[in-house]
Every structure is written in C-alpha cells, then in structure tokens.
C-alpha cells in the first residue's frame, strides 16, 4: 500500500460520528474511498488549528478506521467492497446571506425598489408616463425609477466626477421634466439637458462661471441656480439664488430675467425688475399653471406669466439672522404649499391663508429617523426633493436615509426605493441586532464570531445561533480602562485575533495599545506603543497611528503593525512581535521609515500596514492599506510584494491611483484593501473596501475577484457575485464560508 490520504468532508466538526473521505492507494489502484471518524470532542472551525486537530484525531483511531472502512480484521466488517460510491454531504449553496445586522445604507446599485441604493439624493421630477427621476447627488448621476419601481442609471458616471458626455460636476440641485420627457438639471452654474435616451448637453450657462447676463445658451450666466420649474409651453423657470432673481429660458435657449433685480436682495412686490426677492430657493407650479417661489426669508411669492410679483405668505422674521434653505416646494390639489428645509426632518404644510402645520414627520419634535407608517408617526432624515405623481402620491427624496419615500393621499408613508441603514449598538438575534461600522472579525473554537466595532469602540460576540451581545466595552463610550466586560473601555479597536487558549487580542488603535480579553471577558493591557505622541494637546491634522492589524501565531507570538504618520512629524511604520515572554522586537520596517520599499528587515518600508495573517511556514502576510498592496514577510524577515502596487515612496498619502484589475502580482489593483484571511490551502482572501469586493490571492500571487462587483456599492444578498458595501472585515470559517463585515451588517459568504 503506497499512501493514505485523508480529506475531511467538513472543516471543523461537532462531537459525534462524522463522515470523512479516505483515499487509500496501493501501487496500482485505489482500494477504499470512504470511512467514518468518531470525533470525541468538538473541533474548532478556525484555521490553522483545525487541520492539526483533525489529523491528530485521525492518527489516534486510524487503525480502527481502516478496518471498519475497508472490511479488514478477518471479515467483511459490514463495510463496502471499496468500489461502491458512498453518499456524501452536499456542499452549502454558494452566495451571500445575512448573519446579523442590517443591509441598508447608501450606495449606487440599480434594481427593484428597496434593492436599489442611492447616495445623498436631492432633486426629483416626474414625467407624464409616471417615471420618476432622481438627482443622486453624491453618486453624480441621474437615476430613473419606473412607475413599477425599477431603478436604473440614466446619465452620469457612478461614483465619478464625470467625463465628456457626463456631468463632470460635484453638485446636483433642482430638476424638472418637459412635455417631451427631457430632463433639466441645475448644476455648477449651468442648466443641463438630458434626453430620454440619456444624452447630456448644456442648455444655458457656463460651467463654473457665476454671473447674471441674459442671452442665448452659454452667453447667459447664473449664480447658484437652485430650482427649476417648467410650464405647459415648455418654458423653463430658474430660481437664481445668489442673483436674487427668477430667470426664464424659452424653448430656443434664450435666457431672460422674469422678475427681480440681479445682485439686489429685498422683499418688494412689483412687475419684473421692480420686484425684489431674497435668495429664491424653490419654484413650483400649481394645477392652474400659476408659478410660486419660496425664498430664504420664508416668504412665498406668486409670479404671473407677465412677471407680476405678489406676496401669498409673508416673510418670517425668524429667518432674519440665518436665512432658510428651502430645498423643495410643491402645490397640492387644494392649493396647499408643501415644502422642505435643510434644518428640518419634517415636511411643512402652509395653507393659502398662511396657516402652518407639520404635514409629515415628528409632530412634537424635529428628531430624524427612518420609520414608515402614518404621516404623523413617520420619520425622515433631512427630506429634500418633493414631487406629486399622477395618482396624487407625494414622493419625498429622503436625503439622509438615501431613499425615496411615498406618502399616499391617505397619509400613509412607505419606503419606495432604496433602503435606509439601521445602525447602532443594540444587541439581539440576527437582523434585530445593530452594528455601527463593524470591522475586524474572528471566531473561536465554539464557532462564536467576534466583531471589532470601530465607531462604537466595543467588541461584540455572535453566537452560533445568531445572538449578538456586547462582549466588552460600552457602545459610544471611549477610554482605556481595563476591567471586566462592560467596565472596560476601548478607543477605535481596529483588529482582533485569538490564541490557542481562547484569549482575544485587540489592536486598540485609538489608545495605541494591544489589549487582551480572557474567555471570561476580563480586559487587560498587554502593550502600549511609543511611536504616537502622548500627553495633552491637540492631535496634529492628518495623523494616523497604530497599532493596526495583529496576528497571533501557533506558538503564541503576537505580531502587530505599529505605525505613526503625521505630515508635520517624522512618520514610522513597523511590524513588531511580542514573544510569549513579553519581549518586543521589530520584524520589519523601522522608526522613521515610511514608504513602499521591499527588502530585508529594517531595509523595508511600509505606509499604513493593516491586518495580517500567518501561514504554517511562518510567513506573514500584511495588508499595506495606503500602498494598495499585500506584502509578504518570510520567516527570515525578507519583505516582498505579493500583489498590488509596487511603486516607490513619494506618492502622497491618499492619492494612490486605485485599481480593481485582477491578474498576477503587480498586475492586480486594489483600492484600500482592509482585511485579510487565509483558507486551509494557503489562499488569501482580501476585503477590498474601496472596490466593494472580495479578492482571492493564490500562493503564487494570482488575484481574482470572488464576490461583489467592482464599483457597485451596496449590500445585496443572494447568489454570487452579490453586492457589498465597503467590506472592511473578513474571516475564514471553514468549508469555504467566510464572515464579512459590510456596511452595518455581518454577512456569510459561501464560495462554490
């Protein structure tokens, strides 16, 4: 018999009788293919300890296993003849599922209704067919929502500043639709036109140039145009905010001043330039074609087609000191004015007689939120654009929640498109729990998952049944106190790892310390860095300091990234080791060394080293986040770049060109890689936060994308590739399953 090869069907196992595949070869043939292993105690899921335990258990019972599986021991043993295939457990279905938290939040995904994601939406308009258009401000695009709720991107480049044919702007304000379905948007001192097919052109104004000239096309100028309305003849009206005027653009592109005197603020009724406005914010037509404008002084004025201005609602003295910024105005079928303001989380209603009330949102307070329900119970977060559709529903662009809400004529509020993020520190089971930017992940021998919460400065624990509890620290309370559980305090915990006895180690970056949490929850301080300055006084701007990532190897050595960067001080980036004896040494990098240079020991430099992982040969793999690469440190201290950017020092921090390309070694590109883990065969997996994907790196440096789509941001569970929201934590659980922290959720990624 030439060789015995054992392939565990599951990575990690509970106590009991478990199936293990055996391949037993002679010199000529395979003579036995399956068997059973009795596991005397539960084996952990976490690599690298599990394979060792599995092999040890196999060694203890291998003689009996061979006899049982192969029919040895003087009889057939009730076993198979070795040629009959035995049933094997089916692998888990590949895809992304939710373990705990909430998958909502900002993003740029197209899709159906609440599967779509927006990022700071502001303007809104409705065409005659019931299609809705959204100025998705922080994504720099125009989105289209059909009457059935399907969201697509009509124009612009997602997440980019634009290019020829796109917007090329950093602000999207008012918008309206003409009778032919063309969309007009006020942006960057110009009025842009977008056809129903998505072709973009400039109708009037000069990009980036403020002024008040009338004229045709680019000869005209505006100064912070904030709102657009279109009449039945397709004349376009513009609230020219900083010029204190209302402008008119005829269908041939001729711009004229309808009312108000350029650069002259005031509060005077009259005809044309005899009238005065103070920062006209928003425009709207009523059902009879009458134009209204709400101004920064709180007044609502009426403007006839001939430019005659009269006051409907007088100015509000409350806005004398700080002018109001009304983001939208609509007039309902009864002539009531509905409007939103920057400082309000509610929708205001003003009757034609001037009576004011809250139409939707908190009746007794201005607290923001995301709750649906009846209008007086629903909550919004800085609602902006308003529009009324053909069925009489009021559509609300909920800027802070990154959603589009709908209010029926019966005053029932629902979320129509997008999904609000639900974050916080609440414990609970599965989707009932809340996280506030979960980051690093780790699991113990009992399959509990631990989560480092950067923003809330806590360590959370997720049991096998999905129960989320706060293991140490208190949400929102920072500090450096040691103690039991909730008596302890952390400050921006960055990374976590676990040793063979179940102690959890925390890279407490805000305290520049390594902390230890016993299995019973007792927190102590192991190490405090001397790189970051101590004492009172302001922290220098653009300062970053560690410890960053950490790794506990199989013999108890703690490796960690110790770095300090400030533009006004000398920067340092080191990889250090704490031996079980407590002795601290530097493995690679040096004090005063900062860059992207490979080499031996102190000859190598790093920029902002982050998470790390070790293999069985003693090699250490380090994410160098701001260099956009993965570095390898051999057991002898030789630093090399396994994958990603290989540029030398000298590229300013935060200006590295991001990449998303797959490929070998330096051919691959990353965009703020934030977390790293390793499977049992030595493949690395990287949470590539800036690209919103998970990347795989083979031992030879071949990089591929295994989950998510580059550039598409937002959590979407289901089949692969799925979608992710800036994933900043990943941990291998075994059986091709990974825990991933993405947005405000902890996801389970299963690969084929």
Domains of the chain, by residue range, sit at 156-313, 550-656
Identify the H or E element spanning 626. Answer: none
Cβ count near 441 (within 10 Å): 27
Share of the chain above pLDDT 90, in %: 73
Cβ count near 264 (within 10 Å): 14
| Per-residue pLDDT tens over the stretch 727-736 | 999 999 999 9
Dist. CA 314–CA 265, nearest whole Å = 16
| 3 state SS of 72 | coil
pLDDT of residue 447: 96
pLDDT over 90 (residue 598): yes
Structure tokens at 136: 């998705």
Mean pLDDT of 528-547: 57
| Per-residue pLDDT tens over the stretch 73-91 | 444 444 444 455 555 666 6
Grade residue 37 by pLDDT with cuts at 50, 70 and 90: very low
Grade residue 570 by pLDDT with cuts at 50, 70 and 90: low
Structure tokens at 120: 């700071």
Structure tokens at 719: 């089949």
Mean pLDDT of 588-607: 92
Backbone angles phi, psi at 572, to 5 degrees: -140, 150
Backbone angles phi, psi at 52, to 5 degrees: -65, -45
| Per-residue pLDDT tens over the stretch 279-294 | 999 999 999 999 999 9
pLDDT over 90 (residue 136): yes
pLDDT of residue 67: 37
Pairing, β 504-508 against β 702-707: unpaired
Grade residue 9 by pLDDT with cuts at 50, 70 and 90: very low
Mean pLDDT of 196-208: 93
Single out the residue of 284, 293, 231 nearest to residue 260, CA to CA: 293
The CATH superfamily label for domain 156-313 reads TolB, C-terminal domain (2.120.10.30)
pLDDT of residue 546: 72
pLDDT over 70 (residue 628): yes
Structure tokens at 615: 């293999």
Identify the H or E element spanning 714. Answer: none
Please tell me what DSSP assigns to residue 177. Answer: E
pLDDT over 50 (residue 296): yes
Grade residue 118 by pLDDT with cuts at 50, 70 and 90: very high
pLDDT of residue 650: 42
| Per-residue pLDDT tens over the stretch 225-273 | 999 999 999 999 999 999 999 999 999 999 999 999 999 999 999 999 9
pLDDT over 80 (residue 110): yes
Please tell me what DSSP assigns to residue 87. Answer: P
Residue 557 and residue 546 in contact, taking contact as beta carbons nearer than 8 Å: no
pLDDT over 80 (residue 55): no
Least confident of 490-504, 640-654, 680-694, 718-732: 640-654
| Per-residue pLDDT tens over the stretch 399-423 | 999 999 999 999 999 999 999 999 9
pLDDT of residue 128: 95
| Per-residue pLDDT tens over the stretch 646-698 | 765 444 444 556 789 999 999 999 999 999 999 999 999 999 999 999 999 99
pLDDT of residue 466: 97
Which residues, listed in sequence order, are joined to residue 404 by a DSSP beta bridge? 397, 417
Output the average pLDDT for the chain.
Answer: 86
| Per-residue pLDDT tens over the stretch 176-192 | 999 999 999 999 899 99
pLDDT of residue 143: 96
Cα distances (angstroms) measured from residue 270 to each of 231, 302, 359: 21, 11, 31
Dist. CA 533–CA 570, nearest whole Å = 11
Grade residue 608 by pLDDT with cuts at 50, 70 and 90: confident
Mean pLDDT of 339-357: 93
Grade residue 366 by pLDDT with cuts at 50, 70 and 90: confident
Cα distances (angstroms) measured from residue 234 to each of 143, 184, 250, 306, 685: 22, 11, 7, 16, 55
Which residues, listed in sequence order, are joined to residue 281 by a DSSP beta bridge? none
Pick the more confident residue, 738 or 323. Answer: 738
pLDDT of residue 343: 86
Residue 205 and residue 193 in contact, taking contact as beta carbons nearer than 8 Å: no
Match 């051999």 to its residue by tokens: 634
Least confident of 160-164, 334-338, 386-390, 529-533: 160-164
Please state which of the four CATH numbers 2.40.10.500, 3.40.1210.10, 3.90.79.10, 3.40.50.2000 is assigned to the domain occupying 550-656.
2.40.10.500
Grade residue 592 by pLDDT with cuts at 50, 70 and 90: confident
Structure tokens at 618: 């003693």
Pairing, β 150-156 against β 175-177: unpaired
| Per-residue pLDDT tens over the stretch 16-29 | 333 333 333 333 33
Least confident of 32-46, 139-153, 373-387, 653-667: 32-46
């Amino acid at each position: 018999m030439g060789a015995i090869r054992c392939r565990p069907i599951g990575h990690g196992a509970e106590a009991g009788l478990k199936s293990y595949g055996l391949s037993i070869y002679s010199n000529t043939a395979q003579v036995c293919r399956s068997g059973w292993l009795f596991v005397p105690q539960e084996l952990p899921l976490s690599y690298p300890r599990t394979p060792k335990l599995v092999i040890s258990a196999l060694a203890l019972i291998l003689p009996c296993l061979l006899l049982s599986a192969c029919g040895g021991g003087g009889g057939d043993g009730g076993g198979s003849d070795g040629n009959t295939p035995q049933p094997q457990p089916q692998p888990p279905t590949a895809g992304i599922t939710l373990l705990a938290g909430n998958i909502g939040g900002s993003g740029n995904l197209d899709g159906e209704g609440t599967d779509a994601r927006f990022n700071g939406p502001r303007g809104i308009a409705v065409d005659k067919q019931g299609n809705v258009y959204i100025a998705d401000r922080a994504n720099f695009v125009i989105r289209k929502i059909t009457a059935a709720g399907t969201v697509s991107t009509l124009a612009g480049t997602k997440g980019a500043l634009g290019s020829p044919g796109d917007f090329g702007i950093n602000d999207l304000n008012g918008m309206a639709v003409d009778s032919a379905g063309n969309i007009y948007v006020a942006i960057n001192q110009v009025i842009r036109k977008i056809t129903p097919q998505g072709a973009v052109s400039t109708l009037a104004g000069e990009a980036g140039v403020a002024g008040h000239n009338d004229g045709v096309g680019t000869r005209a100028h505006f100064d912070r145009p904030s709102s657009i309305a279109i009449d039945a003849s397709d004349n376009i009206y513009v609230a020219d905010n900083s010029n204190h005027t209302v402008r008119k653009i005829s269908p041939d592109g001729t711009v004229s001043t309808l009312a108000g005197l350029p650069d002259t603020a005031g509060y005077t009724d009259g005809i044309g330039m005899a009238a005065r406005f103070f920062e006209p914010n928003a425009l709207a037509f009523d059902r009879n074609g009458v134009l209204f404008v709400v101004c920064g002084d709180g007044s609502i004025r009426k403007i006839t087609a001939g430019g005659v201005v009269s006051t409907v609602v007088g100015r509000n003295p409350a806005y004398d000191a700080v002018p109001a910024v009304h983001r939208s105005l609509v007039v309902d079928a009864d002539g009531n004015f509905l409007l939103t303001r920057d400082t309000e989380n509610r929708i205001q209603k003003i009757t034609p007689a001037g009576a004011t009330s809250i139409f939707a949102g908190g009746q007794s307070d201005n607290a923001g939120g995301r709750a649906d329900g009846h209008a007086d119970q629903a909550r919004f977060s800085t609602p902006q654009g308003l529009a009324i559709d053909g069925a009489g529903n009021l559509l609300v662009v909920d800027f802070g929640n990154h959603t589009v809400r709908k209010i029926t004529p019966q005053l029932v509020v629902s979320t129509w498109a997008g999904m609000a993020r639900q974050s916080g520190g609440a414990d609970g089971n599965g989707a009932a729990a809340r996280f506030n930017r979960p980051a690093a992940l780790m699991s113990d021998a009992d399959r509990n998952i631990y989560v480092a919460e950067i923003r809330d400065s806590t360590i959370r624990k997720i049991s096998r049944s999905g129960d989320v509890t706060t293991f140490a620290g208190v949400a929102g309370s920072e500090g450096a106190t040691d103690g039991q559980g909730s008596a302890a305090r952390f400050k921006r915990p960055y990374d976590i790892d676990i040793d063979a006895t179940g102690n959890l180690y925390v890279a407490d970056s805000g305290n520049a310390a390594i902390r230890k949490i016993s299995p019973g929850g007792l927190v102590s301080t192991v190490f405090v860095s001397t790189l970051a300055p101590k004492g009172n006084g302001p922290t220098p701007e653009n300062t970053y300091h560690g410890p960053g990532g950490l790794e506990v190897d199989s013999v108890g050595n703690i490796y960690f990234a110790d770095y300090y960067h400030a533009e006004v001080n000398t920067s340092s980036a080191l990889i250090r080791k704490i031996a079980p004896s407590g002795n601290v040494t530097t493995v690679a990098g040096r004090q005063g060394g900062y860059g992207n240079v490979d080499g031996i020991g102190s000859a190598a430099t790093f920029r902002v080293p982050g998470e790390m992982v070790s293999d069985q040969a003693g090699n250490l793999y380090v994410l160098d986040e701001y260099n956009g690469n993965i570095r390898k440190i051999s057991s002898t201290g030789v630093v090399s770049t396994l994958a990603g950017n290989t540029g030398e020092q000298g590229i300013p921090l935060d200006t590295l060109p991001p990449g998303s390309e797959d490929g070998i070694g330096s051919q691959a590109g990353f965009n703020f890689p934030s977390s790293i883990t390793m499977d049992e065969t030595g493949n690395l997996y990287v949470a590539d936060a800036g690209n919103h994907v998970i990347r795989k790196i083979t031992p030879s440096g071949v990089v591929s994308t295994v989950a998510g789509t580059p550039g598409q941001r937002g959590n979407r569970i289901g089949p692969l590739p799925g979608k992710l929201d800036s994933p900043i934590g990943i941990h291998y659980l075994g059986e091709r399953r990974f825990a991933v922290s993405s947005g405000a959720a902890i996801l389970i990624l299963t690969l084929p």
